[in-house]
Structure 1
Amino acid sequence: MKHISSRENALYKEIKNLAVNANARKKSGKTLLDGVHLCQAYLQHRGVPDLCVVSEVCVANDEVVGIVNRCEQIAVQIIVVPDALYRVLSQVENGVGILFVISIAKLAAPVHLTVNAVLLDNLQDPGNLGSILRSAAGAGIQQVFCSSGSASAWSPKVLRAGMGAHFALEIYEGVDLYSLLAQSNFPVLATSSHTKTSIYEVNLNRQLAWLFGHEGQGVDPRLMELATQIVTIPQKIEIESLNVAASAAICFFEQSRQHLVGLGHLGTVA
């Protein structure tokens, strides 16, 4: 372990920049995984982080010890900083003081849709994006396509909300969703309150893509025109609309339910 006690240390300043500056993360292609769960998930699903940072007060924590031991086995550099310096790096209050610096995997987006996917048009809120990624991974969605106007999928806030879902998904950012849909002969479903066709009335026991949009403005009308089908989630008329992350979760798991029923695990489709 290497101990750093000065705020002026070059490596510490580099990590701090990643913690507070979105442009620094974008330019370097790196981000931070904050907390035990994300670090454990990364070690399990992706492998070797660039750097491990531990707060002095947490060095003896049982969960931290396990992560540090694994990092030592795979030759990851480990630095230890005073708690005051660590708090500058972390946005988690009262969390366990460990984080990873990782390189963001750069994936070339496919030209066509071919597997279960979700398309996000100008989604702004990091919490919503992280929740959608978490639900998508849990329901067996394989690919996520984010338009250039969407929140950064690899920001610390989205990573925390995703709870490790990033490492079970193929995530593509800055995607031209219009071109992707126009070139794909693949079923795409979007949700709207202005239709009578319920998600419970359509066949979801198949490979398909879901299209969701901006929290306030919804999906761009040009993209909606390319959707194969528009469906609605039945709800009380007193409620204007569901949160986009809640809507996505309902859609994903209704698709998952129909798949299980279709396979005969829960009976037969009526």
Structure 2
Amino acid sequence: MQNNSVSSMQNPIIKSILQLQKKKTVRRKENLFIVEGIRSIQEIPANYQVRYLITTPELALPKTPALEEKKCLVVTEEVYKAISDTTTPQGAMAVVEMPVTKLTDQNFDKRGMYLLLENIQDPGNLGTIIRTAHAFGVKAIFITKGSVDLYSPKVVRATMGSLFHLPIYIDYEAEDYITHLKQAKIPLYVTALEEAQPIYDIRFEKKMTIVIGNEGNGVSETVKQMADYKMMIPMPGGSESLNASIAASICIYEVMRQMNINI
């Protein structure tokens, strides 16, 4: 296998990677994002377009159906450390094209759970929620405009490759998603603290959407008014709130538990 070797930070591809790591505007303009780490690279499906795989000389090239040998670029350890977004680099990253996702393309199953995330700001929270949603069979995720960038390096890394395995929609307002969901007759269950039923008292419908709100402010009043049901997670220990990703995980698990019982 013949690979191009790079030892200079002035290489155009290297300079481009630095900008993709740092700036959302560049990622959106170029329609590219970075996937870093061997495991995450191996999760890239064949229908995704990989522009480049960047590795260090000592690392065996990860195998992925989306990758062709001509796209491999070997860099020195020094160059890789300079372009990596991690404190302990594994020595492998891929430059990947963003998928094109249109809300009108989403088909809704007769049975299943969907997830609407309103104004989530923490990259770790978003990544963890996506990973949990993938693990428990969520059909699709809708992320509102103004949320943390789905393709930021920290979010991508936190998903551990799960963002490749379910439809994720971004850059629509909450009202747009809700209108689309209501047209499909899918009820909305929002997390709330007032006028809400304990989650274990609710009987979820066969197809439904969980709404998780902002870490500090929760679900907006506008979305609460558009919801069909309000639910709360009882906390006998006395804490006022839960981390958004933990709250989402509890809700997703309870829905999955009920769906499995009621099959």
TM-score (norm 1): 0.88
Counterpart AA for 1:52: L
User: Which runs of 5 or more residues in structure 1 are unaligned?
Assistant: 264-270
CA contact (8 A) 1:123 1:213 kept: yes
Displacement after TM superposition at 1:23 (Å): 1.3
Matched, 1:216 2:216: yes
Q: Which range moves more in the overlay, 13-22 or 29-38?
A: 13-22
Give the residue type in structure 2 aligned to 1:65: L
Structure 1 residue corresponding to 2:78, chosen from 73, 76, 84: 84
CA drift at 1:180: 2.7
Question: Which residue of 58, 65, 72 corresponds with 2:61?
Answer: 65
> 2:66, 2:204 → 1: CA distance?
43
- Secondary structure of residue in 2 paired with 1:117: strand
* Aligned residue number for residue 39 of structure 1: 41
Q: Given that residues 197 and 232 in structure 2 are in contact (C-alpha distance below 8 angstroms), is that contact kept between their aligned partners in structure 1?
A: yes
Whether the 8 Å CA contact 1:205–1:255 is kept in 2: the answer is no
The counterpart of 1:137, out of the listed 109, 134, 139, is 134
Work out which of the residue numbers 162, 167, 170 in structure 2 matches 1:165.
162
Q: CA deviation at 1:47?
A: 5.0
Q: What is the CA–CA distance in structure 1 between the aligned matches of 2:17 and 2:250, rounded to whole Å?
A: 38
CA RMSD for the aligned pairs? 2.0
2:53: which partner in 1?
52
**1:237-262 Cα distance to aligned partner (Å, 9 max, x none):** 52111111000001111111112112
Equivalent residue number for residue 257 of structure 1 = 257
Any idea what SS the aligned residue of 2:146 has? coil
Shift of 1:76: 4.3
Q: Is contact 1:124–1:215 with CA below 8 Å preserved after alignment?
A: yes
The 1:152–1:66 alpha-carbon spacing in structure 2 relative to 1, beyond 3 Å, is closer
8 Å contact from structure 2 (residues 48, 66) kept in 1: no
Q: Is 1:191 aligned with 2:194?
A: no
The residue aligned with 1:266 is: none
How far apart in 1 are the matches of 2:233 and 2:72?
A: 48
Q: How far 1:66 moved relative to its partner?
A: 4.2
Structure-2 change in CA distance of 1:198 and 1:45 (3 Å): farther
Partner of 2:229: 229
Q: Please give the alpha-carbon distance, in whole angstroms, between the structure 2 residues aligned to 1:148 and 1:71.
A: 29
Residues 1:181 and 1:30: Cα distance change in structure 2 (over 3 Å):
same
CA distance in structure 2 between the aligned counterparts of 1:90 and 1:256, rounded to whole angstroms? 37
The answer to whether the Cα contact below 8 Å between 2:48 and 2:96 also exists between their aligned partners in 1 is no
Question: 1:93–1:148: structure 2 CA closer, same or farther, 3 Å change rule?
Answer: same
Q: Aligned equivalents of 1:187 and 1:71: distance in 2?
A: 37
Letter in 2 for 1:240: E
Structure 2: stretches of 5+ with no match in the other structure? none
Deviates more, 1:187-196 or 1:155-164: 187-196
Q: Secondary structure at the match of 2:55?
A: strand
Q: State the match for 1:175 in structure 2.
A: 172
Cα displacement (A) at 1:45: 5.9
Q: CA deviation at 1:113?
A: 7.9
Contact 1:132 1:248 in 2 (8 A): yes
Amino acid paired to 2:56: S
Aligned residues: 255
Partner residue of 1:95? Answer: 89
Aligned to 1:23: 25
Bigger Cα displacement from structure 2, 207-216 vs 113-122: 113-122
**Do the aligned partners of 1:55 and 1:81 also contact (CA within 8 Å) in 2?**
yes
Taking the aligned partners of 2:247 and 2:32, their CA distance within structure 1 comes to 31
Q: For 1:180, give the aligned amino acid.
A: Y
Decide whether the 8 Å contact of 1:52 with 1:76 is kept in 2: no
Describe the superposition over 1:50-91 as per-residue Cα deviations: whole angstroms up to 9, x where unpaired: 1100023x33xxxx33438x677x344111111111112212
Q: Which amino acid letter does the alignment assign opposite residue 49 of structure 1?
A: V
Taking structure 1 as reference, are residues 66 and 34 closer, same or farther at Cα in structure 2, changes over 3 Å only?
Answer: closer
TM-score by length of 2: 0.90
Distance 1:47 1:177, change over 3 A: closer
The CA distance in 2 between the partners of 1:66 and 1:123, in whole Å, is: 32
